Structure 1
């Protein structure tokens, strides 16, 4: 009797593996357009989840623009003794820039355990409802300290959005769509800055509090409609498989793809095979992220996130203020900030083509190298004698650095972040990775504000030397430790990490379709 049971169990495992192999082969065989046609709703729901990032982007750029907004400066500014003009004090300029990030830092630590427990949908819905409440505090703030606290509270749901979105997007789409699905995050970051640029450009001429109150109130456009859509979205089938809810996972797959094309039974079998490969008796915990192979994976995610702040990206976040300190007039600075954001969105869409057909590693490395060279050139432009030409050169290079960053390193980063972590640890890994982003960003914001502020370092374009040096360090580190994951299933990625294949040899290493270790 026991012998017969063992034979049945072996037959069941064989069938299960056969289905998993069929599903993985089907995903590998798809072209990008075939994947879009097979999984139309997956693309739509990735779009919806990515949209949540627009709220952090909107507010980050809003605060960055407020320090250059005349009405805001007139209310909260102090007199610069060197020229008698009003400016926001350096300490408050930096504090306002980091307040949201401090809240988001707390939010990303909440996101991992919360999402692991209740899923991506309900965690995101909770954050959207909280954001609706916290916008009130920001709108009715009447002092810089209250504004600081309001921004900190708004940061809590941002942390959940930014931790969940790349993970959810990478899990609901097939292999060929992982790059464009996760890169939509960068596109919505750019869209958020475009809306802010347009709104502040429209109202920067007002000398009343409406110049900054109306842009704050416009934040209410986003949370409620998004909450309705997220409520209707399917849960990640990978999360459901991790929870042992195989029928629900199959139903989610059917909602994401066309039933006539996608075999939900085989798709779930593929997920089960990968989850079994990572299976352990322990519940996922933050400590696991720093043990064995998972430590390497965690360091990659944390390193890529940290590098976003060390390669000149803060120039983009403070574009308007950078342009004003480079000597450009206020109206022109706001116009240039809007142009920068529009170009960023266009270049992000171009990056979909690049990362769909070229490797993540190569795009990241070449993009980082070009970015480093441009930052040094910006430093040189800021070092020459002050003239109209040097002002123009600094403004132009600042714009180019901000835009090209969204063609190479930035969008490639989101794909790498979504692919690198183990499935069972994904919510925790993306959370700790984004926490690293904020931990690095907060001192960098203080440094960036100090370097640009006339009451601080007053470096203008010479800040390019600083970001060029940190960018070079990130480039060298990525060359030695960042593997190429393009076209790899999550099973293959697990196996390559477990085999300790050197990063530079991933592209040429083959993994047998039958292999489970």
Structure 2
């Protein structure tokens, strides 16, 4: 029985003379008032949803400009996620770094290398601790809110980067690795908190763009890191690797020192009975005179929460993780987890993490290697911004499905050209890396975040996202640990031929997304709940519409388009 049903007053027995007693009459009036209030709230919520859906992207951006700025602020932590994900591969490409931390190597064009064992541990350790960080963040985000969860992990990151920087004194790989491991707790948490907040506070026309902005902020960190590495990498000084390590301090220090200004998620506040604080946060997020009907927004949030509880037969809002695997949520959890996980299996560890190192192994100088890397990342930056149009116009499913296919073709081409191993063949490899980079960022790399946040039920987002991040972290760890053994000159030495392996994984991602991925563009929370509950195959969601019967407890009616 839903909370609203429990709250409905019941009538007492009739008076002995056959007339209703005063108690009975009061009970009926209270019940009628509840029904009227409930109907009014449903009507108000429906009106607000219709108004919001009628806004163009540009209109929504003008009205919700404060929200856009606060979402960007919340996602700044992801800036550090982008750096952490590639720092091992990038620092390995710095001659001065490998000289300080590595061992002599006499073959080929490099003189020092980090052994495959240490490279595997160092590059993969974050994914292990990120699992714990994601679990903790999913629980804490529901327990103490998004704001203070973010603060906790910013403080952890500040200490972790301090340990990494301390390793520069004597080139200690154990200390460097320990610092990276501790930072992994924050990395796992940030990838849960930032897009979760964006999905909860963004209006419907901007929801896809703002959750996809997680990838944009992450990539901004990567692009800045690339530019600095291009300047510093060839330098024969300790600054070549000390400055990149210190860069990881920027965002956690900034966020920790300004978090007091940050408005908590109104969805979280209202969900846990803090309506007045929720209204106060809304005024900060949306503005009091912005044209946003805050009463309508509150009604929409309350209706979504109640509707979800009613659909899942929940009388309380627990914080347990097992609920994401219950029958009513299992399909949605699987889709969200797999869609997010396949993003990490699309070859990005090779292109994003080790491309500078790869260019040096095939004969390019350190400076030219980092120049090519910067150019690739500029292409990816352009693709990321372009994807906002794609997400809004083409939709999530279209971009993801065909993006997986295109990136798989590019990876097969990279592997095939690397087999030849000639100068011209390697030039072709570099060309296909550029094509892969644009296709990946325009499609799969960006759209994974909106899908992850839109597919789960509203109140399950934090926990589903934590579970998805665990699956992604395990995937990253397996790939990150095995990649150096497959790629490195002192191990299997596959070099660019690793493209075949990741092409195969990407084909699996294409098949999965083609058969199971729903289109979530322009779908409200209530509409997605109704579609998943209806039994319609997710890949066919775009062929159905959802109507709501306000006179019958706002019941959802799913029907095929005319």
- TM-score, length of structure 2 as denominator length: 0.89
Establish whether residue 144 from structure 1 lines up as the match of residue 180 from structure 2.
no
Decide whether the 8 Å contact of 1:326 with 1:461 is kept in 2: no
Q: CA deviation at 1:347?
A: 1.1
Q: Helix, strand or coil: the match of 1:510?
A: strand
Alpha-carbon distance in structure 2 between the residues aligned to 1:358 and 1:351? 10
Matched with 1:394 is 429
Alpha-carbon distance in structure 2 between the residues aligned to 1:229 and 1:182? 22
C-alpha distance 205-327 of structure 1, shift in aligned 2 (>3 A): closer
Which 5+ residue runs of structure 1 have no aligned equivalent? none
Q: CA deviation at 1:286?
A: 0.6
Establish whether residue 383 from structure 1 lines up as the match of residue 419 from structure 2.
yes
Matched with 1:272 is 302
Matched with 2:12 is none
- Pick the aligned partner of 1:35 from 54, 57, 60: 60
Matched with 2:348 is 313
Decide whether the 8 Å contact of 2:395 with 2:521 is kept in 1: yes
Matched with 1:72 is 97
Alpha-carbon distance in structure 1 between the residues aligned to 2:507 and 2:364? 29
Q: How does 1:114-513 map to 2 (within 5 A)?
A: 114-141=140-167, 142-258=171-287, 259-279=289-309, 280-282=314-316, 283-315=318-350, 316-384=352-420, 386-513=421-548
Worse-matched range after superposition: 194-203 or 406-415: 194-203
Alpha-carbon distance in structure 2 between the residues aligned to 1:64 and 1:361? 31
Alpha-carbon distance in structure 2 between the residues aligned to 1:23 and 1:100? 43
Which structure has the greater CA radius of gyration? 2
Alpha-carbon distance in structure 2 between the residues aligned to 1:56 and 1:267? 32
Matched with 2:5 is none
Q: Helix, strand or coil: the match of 2:441?
A: coil
Decide whether the 8 Å contact of 2:415 with 2:497 is kept in 1: yes
Q: Helix, strand or coil: the match of 2:543?
A: coil
CA RMSD, Structure 1 to Structure 2 (Å)? 1.6
Decide whether the 8 Å contact of 1:378 with 1:397 is kept in 2: yes
- Pick the aligned partner of 1:94 from 120, 125, 137: 120
Alpha-carbon distance in structure 1 between the residues aligned to 2:203 and 2:214? 17
Alpha-carbon distance in structure 2 between the residues aligned to 1:248 and 1:357? 36
Listed one character per residue, the Cα deviations across residues 163-188 of structure 1 (whole Å, up to 9, x for unaligned) are 11111101111111011101111112
Decide whether the 8 Å contact of 1:132 with 1:220 is kept in 2: yes
- TM-score, length of structure 1 as denominator length: 0.96
C-alpha distance 228-409 of structure 1, shift in aligned 2 (>3 A): same
Q: CA deviation at 1:82?
A: 4.5
Q: Helix, strand or coil: the match of 1:235?
A: coil
Decide whether the 8 Å contact of 1:190 with 1:342 is kept in 2: no
Decide whether the 8 Å contact of 2:286 with 2:292 is kept in 1: yes
Listed one character per residue, the Cα deviations across residues 160-219 of structure 1 (whole Å, up to 9, x for unaligned) are 111111111011111110111011111122111112212222222233332211221222
Decide whether the 8 Å contact of 1:312 with 1:402 is kept in 2: no
Q: Helix, strand or coil: the match of 2:50?
A: helix
Decide whether the 8 Å contact of 1:253 with 1:267 is kept in 2: no
Decide whether the 8 Å contact of 1:54 with 1:191 is kept in 2: yes
Alpha-carbon distance in structure 2 between the residues aligned to 1:222 and 1:163? 17
Matched with 2:30 is 5
Alpha-carbon distance in structure 1 between the residues aligned to 2:239 and 2:262? 36
Decide whether the 8 Å contact of 1:109 with 1:432 is kept in 2: yes
Alpha-carbon distance in structure 2 between the residues aligned to 1:122 and 1:109? 16
Alpha-carbon distance in structure 2 between the residues aligned to 1:66 and 1:224? 23
Decide whether the 8 Å contact of 1:326 with 1:395 is kept in 2: no
Which 5+ residue runs of structure 2 have no aligned equivalent? 1-25, 557-562
